[in-house]
Structure 1
């Protein structure tokens, strides 16, 4: 789809936006990635943004699998 511009990934639950931002900063800190204060990611490397997103997804899948299995930290909020 050429020429569509930037995509806007909308959360299914808009109330989760603040928790997702907090989660993003926590994961970035774990990985040693500095998130721009301006919120503009255009100056970050693709490697860093990919690592950040990939790690977030892995942690969310792990948390969901743990909730299905009835194990792990069920009080964790993201």
Structure 2
């Protein structure tokens, strides 16, 4: 599978969203996140997916 982004313009938006979510749930994201646990990083990703699904569901109802 290619490592090329399907929509390159979305990269900055997703990065801002990730940092916003991390800040809201108290995970200290920086440019280097090697000192964070898998649980911390996973909680950010999980919360992002949860919010994206909620947004999508609210638009289809």
TM bucket normalised to smaller: 0.7 to 0.9
Q: Find the aligned partners of 1:66 and 1:41 in 2 and give their Cα distance.
A: 32
Bigger helix share: 2
Partner residue of 1:62? 54
TM-score normalised by L of structure 2:
0.83
TM-score, normalization: structure 1?
Answer: 0.67
Length, aligned pairs only: 60
Unaligned runs of 5+ in 1: 1-7, 70-78
**Structure 2 unmatched runs, 5+:** none
Instruction: Kindly name which structure, 1 or 2, has the bigger radius of gyration based on alpha carbons.
Output: 1
Q: Which residue is 1:25 aligned to?
A: 19
| Backbone CA RMSD of aligned residues | 1.8
Distance in 2 (alpha carbons) for counterparts of 1:59 and 1:13: 20
